[in-house]
Structure 1
Amino acid sequence: MNAPEPSRPPRLTSLSHGGGCGCKIAPGVLSEILRSMPSTLPVPPQLMVGIETADDAAVYRLNDEQALIATTDFFMPIVDDPYDFGRIAATNAISDVYAMGGTPILALGIVGMPINVLPLETIGRILEGGQSVCAAAGIPIAGGHTIDSVEPIYGLVVLGLAPPSRIKRNADAKPGDVLLLGKPLGVGVLSAALKKEQLDAQGYRRMIDSTTKLNTPGAELAALEGVHALTDVTGFGLAGHSLEVARGAGCTVRVEWKRVPLIEGVRELAAQGFVTGASGRNWTSYGADVRLPEGFAVEDRALLTDPQTSGGLLVSCSREAAEEVLAVFRRHGFASAALIGEVVAGAAVLEVV
């Protein structure tokens, strides 16, 4: 009598109801939650950036030379390979420090795992993936916290430093600025195809290459005099994070859609219906403040609101600084970085042309 074959561990994505930055609470719902919070908490004068503009991280001024950047990011699996999941989650968390113009200095691990469902080896590979990215960023994982949870969750708390004068908020764009995007869009579309087992090996490789590329240009960009605002494009999509820039500056952000870089093949996948639920929730939350051209394709709107896990830096800078910004991106290996729009005087809306 043959011995029964050992059972295979479940796919990581089968254990999560939403993966990557696509499992963020929708922006409209989040606004309602935050609106109900009391506003009586103390705000020390050293707090340079708090929750007021939905920025990427908190920033606390230590002295005239140093400001401390603090952020946290964690989510459920967006891929089934545990090592890749750990790499993606860590890259995404560290990105918030780069998006403020800082340099990361250390991380703490956030780990929630269904201990009775996943093999310990799988959990270990997730942590190894995160450690490999922190090593590439030159920082230690100096501690953390673990819990036994129903769905697998992994991420980091990340601390960084920057000179106070080089902190870049998402709210400081100026009329006349141009907008540049560091990475192509489409991670959410690829993740939707992967979850339905319809993503080929090339598509998976493109997804991993994008989501594990550290946004290292951030600190160098922040040092450029012509750079006024920085953020990264994550769960709320290009539209949502562009609107944060528009609202912070009290200006219109105008995006020229044909200039926006897309990961190869994602428009075709979106046209076939491989779109995350988060994309629709994003549109419901902020679509009233987005002006689309007549005949704008459904798949293009899906990509405009597509949740990006570990997405690219969005830079608002003077027109004169644009070539230098692109040169920084190129030096760091961001071949798809492109000028995609501008900031103009007007209502705080996103206008797509």
Structure 2
Amino acid sequence: MPSIGIGLDSCVIPLRFGGLSLIQTTDFFYPLVDDPYMMGKIACCNVLSDLYAMGVTECDNMLMLLGISSKFSEKARDVVVPLMMRGFKDCAEEAGTTVNGGQTVLNPWCLIGGVATAVCQLNEFIMPNNAVPGDVLVLTKPLGTQVSCNAHQWLEQKSDKWNRIKLIVTEEEVEKAYQDSMFIMARLNKTAAQLMHTHNSHGATDVTGFGILGHAQNLVKQQKNAVNFIIHNLPCIAKMAAIAKCCGNTFGLLQGTSAETSGGLLICLPREQAAKYCAEIKKVEGHQAWIIGIVEGGNQTAKIIDKPRVIEVETLDDGTVQSVPPTTTSRRPNHPKAVVQEPQKVVLQQIPQAVQEQPDLPVVSQQLPTIIQQIEQTPASMHQQTICNITPVTLQTSQQVQQVIVEDPQQYQHMQQQAQYQNHH
């Protein structure tokens, strides 16, 4: 029977009773959010993720580890500690298990964590060492939790670091990222673990304190085959990549070294199963998962390419976590008067055949005259806000084309969508 000791997410110990193994893990850390109840849920979720990374979906028992800060006043202790314990207990119940014991100590710093235990048959867990060349890497939660929590703290303290990052993000964006990250960290990876079985996972780990690259390196070293992990995409909570860039090497988010708390599962899946896995987890949970890299032949190393693609991710109004479409504009609040230095100008050209043959000029769809005609027939009620001006332009080829200068891009884009010509900007 297989066994695992120290080094991966959980230990796997064959029991003296035939065909059964003990799967067990422990974890604890300092609070990182200012909501005690949510902190309890995050701590419990973080402990259980180590079981889920092994494909274990049922936890038989949990213990709670709690360090009560000696610096708490009696009032703070009586409010904070019960809320943390309740959050931990509620998350355990959500996972289908119970808390039956633990240990509480007085400590200079507040601590919370626990122990998760499962007794499994061989088919109930997945050894994390069977990746083969051709597999792909899937991530089930976005990165950036450390950045969002630190940015929120800087905002509250109005520190020098906040004065630096406020040039690229608003207070509302930082607050939303912080709230998003809390609920992302408190979300169980149970569904992700269940689907590992149905889609033939070759191994997984959860992404926590060592960052996406650190955990990928730890996982690749356990593989029986000579493989490398190559990461191309980094799904990040919206605006966190921009903050990380602004702060230089403070976090290492884009380098894969930024610590995460209660992150997603990093899973090795057969290429033909990966897209189905992502589609099914979205169907079941509503949340998106991402294919972020590949497995290829190599020498047990993991790396992120020089310029990885950053995928902005946010929590929508319905509570689901989704990628932000590339065309989505900034979530900065709309003011009565838009602050625009100069009107944005979009130039559309109807290119005659003679001009199209010149390689240095763009080729535009032949449907453009229809769009121009619709603009010319704009209702008079819309003329109060000038949408565009159409003027003839003569090119060096002596061919005359029409130049459309759009002075209200938002209204013009709406008209284009109505005309079903969204590709002509």
Shared topology, TM-score over 0.5? yes
Structure-1 residue corresponding to 2:259: 307
Letter in 1 for 2:198: L
- Is 1:248 aligned to residue 222 of structure 2? yes
Q: CA deviation at 1:84?
A: 1.4
What is the CA–CA distance in structure 2 between the aligned matches of 1:72 and 1:163, rounded to whole Å?
A: 21
The Cα offsets for residues 107-159 of structure 1, whole Å up to 9 and x where unpaired, read as: 10101112452422211111111111111112111000111000000011111
Q: How does 1:165-314 map to 2 (within 5 A)?
A: 165-196=123-154, 197=156, 200-224=174-198, 226-249=200-223, 250-257=226-233, 260-273=234-247, 279=251, 300-301=254-255, 304-314=256-266
Letter in 2 for 1:60: I
What is the CA–CA distance in structure 2 between the aligned matches of 1:251 and 1:229, rounded to whole Å?
A: 13
Structure-2 residue corresponding to 1:98: 52
Q: CA deviation at 1:166?
A: 4.1
- Is 1:61 aligned to residue 3 of structure 2? no
Which of residues 53, 61, 68 is equivalent to 1:113?
68
Identity percentage over the alignment?
Answer: 31
Q: CA deviation at 1:74?
A: 0.5
Tell me if structure 2 keeps the 8 A contact 1:100–1:218. Answer: no
How high is the TM-score relative to the length of structure 1? 0.74
Cα RMSD (Å): 2.1
The Cα offsets for residues 169-226 of structure 1, whole Å up to 9 and x where unpaired, read as: 3333112211111011111111211232366431221111210000012442342363
Tell me if structure 2 keeps the 8 A contact 1:55–1:169. Answer: no
Secondary structure class of the residue paired with 2:198: coil
Q: CA deviation at 1:323?
A: 2.6
Letter in 1 for 2:188: L
What is the CA–CA distance in structure 2 between the aligned matches of 1:235 and 1:332, rounded to whole Å?
A: 28
Higher RCO structure, 1 or 2 (CA under 8 Å, sep 6+): 1
What is the CA–CA distance in structure 2 between the aligned matches of 1:218 and 1:164, rounded to whole Å?
A: 19
- Is 1:75 aligned to residue 51 of structure 2? no
Structure 1 consecutive aligned stretches of length 4 or more whose deviation exceeds 4 Å: none
The Cα offsets for residues 233-259 of structure 1, whole Å up to 9 and x where unpaired, read as: 1111110111112222232111113xx
Tell me if structure 2 keeps the 8 A contact 1:235–1:307. Answer: yes
What is the CA–CA distance in structure 1 between the aligned matches of 2:249 and 2:85, rounded to whole Å?
A: 29
1 or 2, which has the higher helix percentage? 1
Tell me if structure 2 keeps the 8 A contact 1:179–1:343. Answer: yes
Tell me if structure 2 keeps the 8 A contact 1:113–1:123. Answer: yes
What is the CA–CA distance in structure 1 between the aligned matches of 2:115 and 2:102, rounded to whole Å?
A: 8
Letter in 2 for 1:181: L
Structure-1 residue corresponding to 2:297: 345
Q: Call closer, same or farther: CA 1:64–1:327 in 2, change over 3 Å.
A: farther
How high is the TM-score relative to the length of structure 2? 0.62
What is the CA–CA distance in structure 2 between the aligned matches of 1:351 and 1:159, rounded to whole Å?
A: 32
What is the CA–CA distance in structure 2 between the aligned matches of 1:213 and 1:263, rounded to whole Å?
A: 15
Q: Call closer, same or farther: CA 1:101–1:161 in 2, change over 3 Å.
A: farther
Q: CA deviation at 1:274?
A: 8.6
Q: How does 1:120-131 map to 2 (within 5 A)?
A: 120-131=78-89
Q: Call closer, same or farther: CA 1:349–1:182 in 2, change over 3 Å.
A: same
Q: CA deviation at 1:334?
A: 5.6
Letter in 2 for 1:126: M
Secondary structure class of the residue paired with 2:235: coil
Tell me if structure 1 keeps the 8 A contact 2:140–2:192. Answer: no
What is the CA–CA distance in structure 2 between the aligned matches of 1:243 and 1:251, rounded to whole Å?
A: 11
What is the CA–CA distance in structure 2 between the aligned matches of 1:139 and 1:163, rounded to whole Å?
A: 18
Tell me if structure 1 keeps the 8 A contact 2:42–2:185. Answer: yes
Corresponding pairs, count = 282
Secondary structure class of the residue paired with 1:245: helix
Structure-1 residue corresponding to 2:114: 156
Tell me if structure 2 keeps the 8 A contact 1:170–1:248. Answer: yes
Secondary structure class of the residue paired with 1:325: helix
Tell me if structure 2 keeps the 8 A contact 1:192–1:275. Answer: no
Structure-2 residue corresponding to 1:322: 274
Tell me if structure 2 keeps the 8 A contact 1:106–1:159. Answer: yes
Unmatched runs of 5 consecutive residues or more in structure 1: 1-45, 281-298
Q: CA deviation at 1:346?
A: 1.1
The Cα offsets for residues 318-344 of structure 1, whole Å up to 9 and x where unpaired, read as: 112213322342244262301111111
The Cα offsets for residues 233-289 of structure 1, whole Å up to 9 and x where unpaired, read as: 1111110111112222232111113xx31111211221232976xx46xxxxxxxxx
Letter in 1 for 2:261: T
The Cα offsets for residues 55-103 of structure 1, whole Å up to 9 and x where unpaired, read as: 1101123455543211111100111111111111111111111111112
1 or 2, which has the higher strand percentage? 2
What is the CA–CA distance in structure 2 between the aligned matches of 1:116 and 1:187, rounded to whole Å?
A: 26
Tell me if structure 2 keeps the 8 A contact 1:181–1:314. Answer: yes
Larger Rg: 2
Secondary structure class of the residue paired with 1:256: strand
- Is 1:86 aligned to residue 40 of structure 2? yes
Unmatched runs of 5 consecutive residues or more in structure 2: 157-161, 163-170, 306-425
